[in-house]
Chain A
Amino acid sequence: MSWFGKLIPSKIRTETRRKKSIPEGLWTKCETCGAVLYRAEVERNLDVCPKCATHMRIGARKRLDSFLDPEPREEIAADLIAVDELKFRDSRKYRDRLAAAKKETGEKDALIVMKGQVKGVPVVVCAFEFSFMGGSMGAVVGEKFVRAVNTCLEHQIPLVCFSASGGARMQEALFSLMQMAKTSAALARMSRQSIPYVSVLTDPTMGGVSASFAMLGDINIAEPGALIGFAGPRVIEQTVRQTLPEGFQRSEFLLEHGAIDMIVDRREMRDRIASVLAIMTGRHAP
């Protein structure tokens, strides 16, 4: 931090998180430890800082690519796009926000679903694209999740979901709230058929996503240091008018309070989940 930056009281200092993603650069900097890192090395390391093991946010495609076996892969419900039913407009039109998000991410919405295998174990995997409107859940995310569940039901194979979301998408108003009920109902059906569901909560998993399918895993896994909760820390701070304890709503806090089963390093995720799923589906060790 510069000498000027240090002068600014921490309360009014603005986090400049977004600025780090200069994709063309050869070098990158770890937000946590400040180490200057060779980008190719960081990418080989699945966007985990080689120096301090901070888990940086990772895009949906990259996540799926690193998690699934190269073959076979089949994307599910890739064609779905949002409809602006309410003609929602705040300081910007919802349609414009959607168009901008599409351009920025190259995705149609905030959830990608793929059927494939992890170390030979057949699975359906969902991954959130946080860069698409903060990974917010609207009708498309809800519908894609349900289609993922339906694919699991059809083939009797497990479901894995990597969450990264700010919560419900306000621009779809009550429709987005209803996605919580829709996705949870689909999971209830799958649960009755004893098909395993592993929910992986990554940074951040909040609000309507946290309070529906992300917390309903047979096994809930978090990545280290992820922010996970129902209400955002700022809202809580304003309500209770006290400073939040150190590490509040982080993965380690959730593990301590019994909300999740384990914290798994991203670099071990594939091995650990494959192993657990093989046990739950009565297969040989992968």
Chain B
Amino acid sequence: MNLNFLEFERPIAELEAKIEELRYVGNDNEINISNEIARLEARSKVLTKTIFSSLTAWQTAQLARHPQRPYTLDYVSRIFTGFEELHGDRTCADDLSIVGGVARLEGKPVMIVGQQKGRDTKERAKRNFGMPRPEGYRKALRLMRMAERFKLPLLTFIDTPGAYPGIDAEERNQSEAIASNLFVMSELRIPIICTVIGEGGSGGALAIGVGDHVQMLQYSTYSVISPEGCASILWKSAEKAPEAAEALGITSAKLKELGLVDHVIEEPLGGSHRDPDTMAERLKTVLVSELDRLSQMDIDKLLEARYARLMRHGHFASARK
């Protein structure tokens, strides 16, 4: 399997290459080298554990953007049944960087909305690299309102570098599309669970990220601005992105500590892309139990709690003291 190793994974990649080589030799040789392979494999696992136990924020950002990282539809197919994708904002277009539709989670009807990136060049273009235009957010809004009408809990999956910064997006009022989603999601009379599965890029992520339970996969990121963007503004150089990533505190562990996310779901060793099935299973377990908990709450109390949660965000002091 070509795992597309990142720069900081190089020692693992070298070891894995050695194992591959041995396997190749082993096939047409009588010498029994399975012991050697097993030994190297164990070493590779230890090495991976060591490297992944102390990732920097910038390394995490690279993992969150890993080209093989599972995307929304990869989880949808593994976690849900009966998924019917629904298309279009009914006014302008069908933005394929946001997918949505009805489905069942362990038999229970739900509404799904998530950002979707593309795997190869062609699909990446089709999905606009996961950067939604206003029509994407308006499709999401349409589905959210429909979910409310039919009492379907809403599950959102966040994975975007940000809302698309383009001429047409501005012409159709990107700002309003995002703002309206924030406005409406704060009062939707259904339980909402938001999961950051990859990149949580700024307002473009938040526009489907207001809910009762906000969680992140371990190596996903969530930030007000990309590390590169922040570095080029504040440090005047995009090369300072690693420093910016650190300062912005974009990792799940940090954001949990700051009280901005409720829960972090541990990823398989080496990241979700190494074992999408296990990741999907873990995510499913949490979704089922959280949904169960939220569904039992009185809806007015749920909305009060959602509001209180939003009001809590941010620290300030009084100058009078």
Residues of A in contact with B (beta carbons under 8 Å apart): 79-83, 85-86, 88-91, 108, 138-140, 142-143, 146, 168, 170, 172-182, 184-189, 191-192, 207-208, 210-216, 228-232, 235-236, 239-240, 242, 244-245, 248-249, 254, 257-259
Contacts and interface: CB of A to CB of B under 8 A. Distances in A.
Contacts, number: 204
B319 A90 contact: no
The 3 nearest A-B residue pairs measured at CB: A139-B314, A231-B165, A185-B186
A11 B263 CA distance: 48
B260 A174 contact: yes
Interface stretch (B63-71, B112-120, B230-238, B274-282): B230-238
Nearest to A239: B165
A91 B203 CA distance: 25
B179 A143 contact: no
A5 B301 CA distance: 64
A185 B258 contact: no
Given A139-B316, A143-B316, A182-B314, A229 B175 contact: yes
Contacts of A142: 313-314
21 contacts: A79-B319, A81-B317, A81-B319, A91-B235, A142-B314, A172-B224, A174-B258, A177-B206, A178-B260, A178-B314, A185-B186, A185-B311, A208-B202, A211-B163, A231-B169, A235-B229, A239-B165, A239-B166, A240-B166, A242-B167, A257-B173
B184 interface: yes
B167 A174 contact: no
Max chain A Cβ within 10 angstroms of own Cβ: one of B166, B202, B207, B235: B202
Interface size class for chain B? 35 or more
B169 A230 contact: yes
Nearest to B202: A177
Contacts of A259: 173, 175-176
B320 A211 contact: no
B222 interface: yes
A214 B229 CA distance: 23
Given A139-B315, A139-B316, A178-B260, 7 more contacts: A80-B316, A81-B316, A81-B319, A89-B247, A90-B230, A176-B224, A192-B187
A9 to B, nearest CB: 22
Interface of B: 163-167, 169-176, 178-180, 182-187, 202-203, 206-207, 209-210, 222-225, 229-230, 233-236, 243-244, 247-250, 255, 258, 260, 307, 310-311, 313-320
Given A182-B311, A230-B163, A170 B230 contact: yes
A162 B186 CA distance: 24
Contacts of B186: 181, 184-185, 188
Contacts of B318: 79-81
A286 B248 CA distance: 49
A173 B245 CA distance: 10
B97 to A, nearest CB: 14
Contacts of B311: 146, 182, 185-186
B179 A212 contact: yes
Given A139-B314, A215-B173, A230-B178, A173 B249 contact: yes
Contacts of A229: 170, 174-175
Given A216-B180, A229-B170, A231-B170, A90 B314 contact: no
Given A170-B225, A184-B183, A140 B316 contact: yes
B182 A185 contact: yes
B167 A244 contact: yes
A177 B202 CA distance: 7
Nearest to B203: A211
Contacts of B182: 180-181, 184-185, 212
A245 to B, nearest CB: 7
B307 A172 contact: no
A178 B173 contact: no
Contacts of B249: 86, 173-174
Nearest to A207: B203
A186 to B, nearest CB: 8
Nearest to B248: A173
A168 B255 CA distance: 17
A176 B315 CA distance: 10
Contact of B224 (A82, A173, A214): A173
A215 B179 contact: yes
Nearest to A168: B224
Contacts of B234: 90-91, 170
B248 A240 contact: no
A174 B316 contact: no
B313 A79 contact: no
A182 B316 contact: no
A193 B293 CA distance: 30
Contacts of B316: 80-83, 139-140, 143
